[in-house]
Chains A and B, each alone.
Chain A
Amino acid sequence: MESDGTVTLQDYSSVMSEEEMAELRALARPLAGARVQHINSTRVGGGVAEILARLVPLLKELGLNARWDVIDGDADFFRVTKMFHNALHGDPADFVERDFEIVRENARRNLHIITNDDDFVAIHDPQPIGLMDARDDRARGKWVWRCHIDISEGDPRVLRFLRPHIERFDAAIFHLADYAKDLAIPQFIMPPAIDPLSEKNRELAPEEVRLVLERFGIDPSRPIVLQVSRFDRLKDPVGVVQAFKIARAWNDCQLVLAGGSASDDPEGEQVFAETREAANGVPDVHLLALPPDAHREINALQRGATVVVQKSLKEGFGLVVAEAMWKGKPVIGGNVGGIRRQIFQGDSGFLVHSPEGCAFRIRQLLCNPGLARRLGENARQYVKDNFLLPTYLRMWVLVLNALRRGRDPIIDLGT
């Protein structure tokens, strides 16, 4: 790692063989010197910014002339784009025409970001999508829209607004096939990734794990069932408590529900109270309201857990599942959203539909350490093969190659 915190490919040598690095360099060779501009709406905070902070320096290391620009926006703009975000997720929103105009005005203020001399322009999510108005179709650059959210059942008014912009791109990228829309442009599938070097995922010494558990009053010597998620009804923390109550009648264990601080989210506060009420009188339940930057603590909790649960009722991709799987943990997930793409029933974890199903699987795993170990090993391997940052980087290199080389099903990149 460089002195400014920038990572290098060599930092990933524990998850990437020398052959894989050599191959990645070979895949990137045809793109040497290509100018690549990534654009999103924030430099810090959120998964997109975290991933771009890693991705752009690594693309540079591979010989591409990559850079990352961020659009400016005022509070009104981000209010409307937050409404867009929620409406694209299917939540009802009350738009007025002025809201769409605010987005158009913001795009006009940011048009200077586009220079039309890049080989590739990657726009992340809907916020900067209006920059498409600055595209000069005579310029050589290929444009790609990287959508990090599920728009398959999005609000039709927002989609009607976005579609003319989206369909001017050369391609779009979605996490999963079921997140995409029927669009008139090619759509690539690229799942999100976790960074094994981040505070949330880096290796921790057993001693540090033990100290964190003890700091929260958790007994490291007894089995631990953990769910990490904000206190949100869609994450079903009350259902997890119900499952724990059933499982605990058979197996000695502790439950840890670790989520964001309740004070910054009125609904979260209410759900936290409901969860506390559900856990009232149940021994060995730990409800932890952690600050947003408690990445190392979350890491330690996941590493200290015996079984990890993500009993969501609705979920996007659910990268927290990949985080636990990467730590070799058997995960019990709700049979929804992207969780279904991470867990293979009985092979890399279990999918459940009810608190009872969750309780059954907790008991099964606590009673069968061998099974838990096998699922955890498979889970780690699956994440290593599919959801780590080096894979994500390789996917980007393939996308850029594909944009340049067209739709041939087989492309020989030679040596």
Chain B
Amino acid sequence: MTPFRFHSEQSLVRTTGMMAQSLRALQQGLARASLPCIFFHVHHALFRRSFTRADFMNDFARWAWVTLHEEALAERLSVVDPLQYKHIREASDHLRAIVSEALGRAEFIQHVERNQAFYFQEAQTFICDTGLVAQDLHDFAQMVRTVRPDVIFHHFIEARLRLARDENDFSLWIDEALHRPDLAARLRQLSPYRHDLRSLRKTIADLCAQEA
């Protein structure tokens, strides 16, 4: 049986030189932003939700709410589930359409100061072997409970985009190496966007421990 090797994912954040001081500029930025930039603000936002309330699915929603006080817009941005899209550009287009619609309805467009601007950023990611190797489901359930949130991010979120299907590294291994399709299916159904990475980790560990 192929063992499961846990990998971690460390990120270095860069500026892109783009910023938005209004909704109009946010709309334009969403159109121009690179895919790594959208990925950062949509998926990496999970790291910034480790304890914050689940109001903000992504950085765009958070900025609309906290800085622009555009609460209706923030709600609509928040409900976008980025994992529903196979390609990050599709998620970006959807977010931009929501911003465009809000702009169409706006009676005036608020401009904020530079220090309250939305800064478009992106991350460079470094993948590293953690040295943790699970030989069976029992090992896996124990190890997954204590790995860092970035390990969960790598195998559960980034994997789905890397594999370009409704799959993640955990479910793939459990299905193909352990031949446990039911458990794999239950893991596939989990969404990190319902909670945060730590809660997701606990849910995965609990599910696997029950089945081990």
Contact = CB atoms under 8 A, between A and B. Distances in A.
A401 B128 CA distance: 13
B85 interface: no
Contact of B126 (A378, A382, A401): A401
Given A178-B119, A186-B14, A26 B128 contact: yes
Contacts of B12: 188, 395, 398-399, 402
B36 interface: yes
Contact of A382 (B51, B121, B128, B147): B51
A378 B123 CA distance: 25
Interface residues of A, number: 44
A71 to B, nearest CB: 28
Interface string A146-189: 00000011000000000000000000001001101011001111
Contact of A402 (B122, B124, B131): B124
Contacts of A382: 50-51
Interface stretch (A37-45, A60-68, A341-349): A341-349
A23 B52 CA distance: 27
A19 B132 contact: yes
The main secondary structure of chain A at its interface with chain B is mixed
Interface in A388-415: 394-395, 398-399, 401-402, 407-415
A402 B8 CA distance: 17
Contacts of A177: 13, 15, 19, 119, 121
A380 B17 CA distance: 31
B199 to A, nearest CB: 14
Contact of B13 (A20, A23, A189, A408): A189
B127 interface: yes
B197 to A, nearest CB: 11
Nearest to A379: B51
Contact of B51 (A19, A20, A189, A347): A347
B115 interface: yes
Nearest to B129: A415
Interface in A316-365: 336-337, 344-348
B84 interface: no
Contacts of B127: 410-413
A413 B119 contact: no
Interface string A20-55: 101100110000000000000000000000000000
A114 B172 CA distance: 52
Contact of A381 (B50, B114, B124, B147): B50
The main secondary structure of chain B at its interface with chain A is strand
Contacts of A344: 51-52
Contacts of B50: 381-382, 385
User: What are the nearest 3 A-B pairs in CB distance?
Assistant: A177-B119, A189-B13, A415-B129
A287 B130 CA distance: 50
A180 B126 contact: no
Nearest to A153: B114
A408 B124 contact: yes
Contacts of A186: 14
Contact of A188 (B13, B66, B119): B13
Contacts of B119: 177-178
Interface residues of B, number: 33
5 contacts: A23-B128, A23-B130, A178-B114, A178-B117, A347-B53
A178 B124 contact: no
B203 interface: no
Interface in B119-178: 119, 121-132, 147-148
Given A411-B125, A411-B126, A414-B128, 16 more contacts: A20-B148, A26-B131, A153-B114, A177-B15, A178-B115, A189-B121, A344-B52, A346-B53, A348-B51, A378-B51, A399-B12, A402-B124, A409-B36, A411-B124, A411-B127, A413-B126
B10 A398 contact: yes
Contact of B14 (A182, A189, A381): A189
A415 B12 CA distance: 19
Interface string A208-222: 000000000000000
A64 B144 CA distance: 32
B15 A187 contact: yes
A27 B128 contact: yes
B14 to A, nearest CB: 6
A399 B14 CA distance: 10
Contacts of A409: 36, 122-125
Contacts of B117: 178
Contact of B52 (A26, A347, A414): A347
Contacts of B148: 19-20
Contacts of A395: 12
Contacts of B130: 19, 22-23
Interface centre among A20, A344, A412 (most CB of B within 10 A): A344
Nearest to A18: B131
Contacts of A180: 15
A188 B131 CA distance: 28
